[in-house]
Amino acid sequence: MRIMLNHRILSRFTERLRTLTDGRHEWLEASDWDPERIAGAIADVDVYVGSQLGEDDARRARRLRLVHVVGAGYDGIPLEALGPEVTVANTHHHGRSIAEHVLMCVLMLSRRVLTADRELRAGRWRNVAVDPTLPFGDTLRGRRVGVIGFGETGTEIARLCQAVGLGVRAVRRDPSAPLPADLRPDWVGGTDRLPELLAESDVVVVTVPLGPATRGLIGPAELAAMGRHSLLVNVARGPVVQEEALYEALSAGTIAGAALDVWWAGPPHAPSRLPFHTLPNVVMTPHNSGHTEETFASRATEIAANITRLEQGSPLTNVVRPGRATTPPLPG
């Protein structure tokens, strides 16, 4: 099969992908190609591996049988432009990496790490021993984290938070879905219990996918419900949280702080039209919470396995849109 790999991060694992598929396929490493070159080649591609695909390219891909997204979100793939024979699958493996990032950010905000670092670099030695007006930092044990969305990422966050003594509660679309045996949340409810989760949590972590039901989910009323000592962590998608409402809440002290790994714009644009970078109570990262070698090595392994299943005519895993193509093309 002819496989186009158009993903700058996963391209670091091209040799792993080739090895895991026994070197039988032709891999086109296209992450540095210009749009014209991609458009010229995609008509003869059997498998497309990437997270973004233009509508015109999707329509040109007449031979395409599988689009494999490099991650969980497939909002960058124009499903309606793909032929009915094309299967779309995704992959995960980012839960633990994101969970560690969340815990790191909560500790940074709880201990004033960014402010202390900035002050010390400027030559100002400031702690509670020399400044009696400075508040103490907070430990995590006994505090409560509320997780919005309880899939792979949400449950890994809960697992790690639980291990360091945080109480866990969560809301999800299906609160009756079974939980891993090692999780012991205080409660798991439906989305109708979101106000209760916000009011009861010291830390609120947003992990839901972006869609019509979640766009703007966290706005002025929700932020006000959290309380002045609460922290918000968003590792989902920027527009799940209302941009202006969050800036106002952080500026006014309606909430204590936020860690933002996802934004309302991406490169080459600024992450936000508002000056979040001027706020001392914000940890800013460029959507890299899941960017560990463990995440992408595992994704490469799973994608290679799905390509082998496609070649063999076996059922694929993680299918988000089934297609009619179930057998490999004839030789030649």
Q: How do residues 262-298 score in pLDDT, each as one tens digit?
A: 999 999 999 999 999 999 999 999 999 999 999 999 9
Residues contacting residue 91 through CB under 8 Å, at least 6 positions apart: 68, 69, 70, 71, 72, 299, 302, 303, 318
Q: How does pLDDT run across 184-195, given as a tens digit for each residue?
A: 999 999 999 999
Q: Which tokens sit at 38?
A: 């991609």
Domain borders along the chain are 2-92+293-321, 95-284
Rounded Cα gap, residues 153 and 207, in angstroms = 7
* pLDDT at residue 332 in the model: 36
Q: Do domains 2-92+293-321 and 95-284 have the same CATH topology?
A: yes
What percentage of the chain exceeds 90 in pLDDT? Answer: 95
Average pLDDT over residues 100-116: 97
Ranges of beta strands (E only) in 131-256 are 144-148, 167-171, 187-189, 203-206, 231-234
What percentage of the chain exceeds 70 in pLDDT? Answer: 98
Is the pLDDT at 329 greater than 70? The verdict is: no
Q: Are 64 and 89 in contact (CB under 8 A)?
A: no
Nearest CA to 239 out of 272, 266, 210 is that of: 210
Long-range (24+ apart) CB contacts under 8 A made by 193-197 are: 194/148, 194/222, 195/222, 195/225, 197/146, 197/148, 197/169, 197/170, 197/171
Domain spanning 2-92+293-321: CATH 3.40.50.720: yes
Rounded Cα gap, residues 38 and 31, in angstroms = 9
Domain spanning 95-284: CATH 3.40.50.720: yes
Average pLDDT over residues 60-80: 95
* DSSP state, residue 119: H
- Give the chain's length: 332
Is the pLDDT at 31 greater than 50? The verdict is: yes
CA torsion sign for 79, 82, 85, 86 is: negative
Rounded Cα gap, residues 57 and 93, in angstroms = 28
Q: Are 285 and 101 in contact (CB under 8 A)?
A: yes
pTM for this entry: 0.90
Q: Which tokens sit at 79?
A: 């499903």
257-260 and 167-171: which strand pairing? unpaired
* pLDDT at residue 328 in the model: 41
Annotate 73-90 with DSSP letters as a single string. Answer: --TTS-GGGS-TT-EEE-
Q: Are 46 and 4 in contact (CB under 8 A)?
A: no
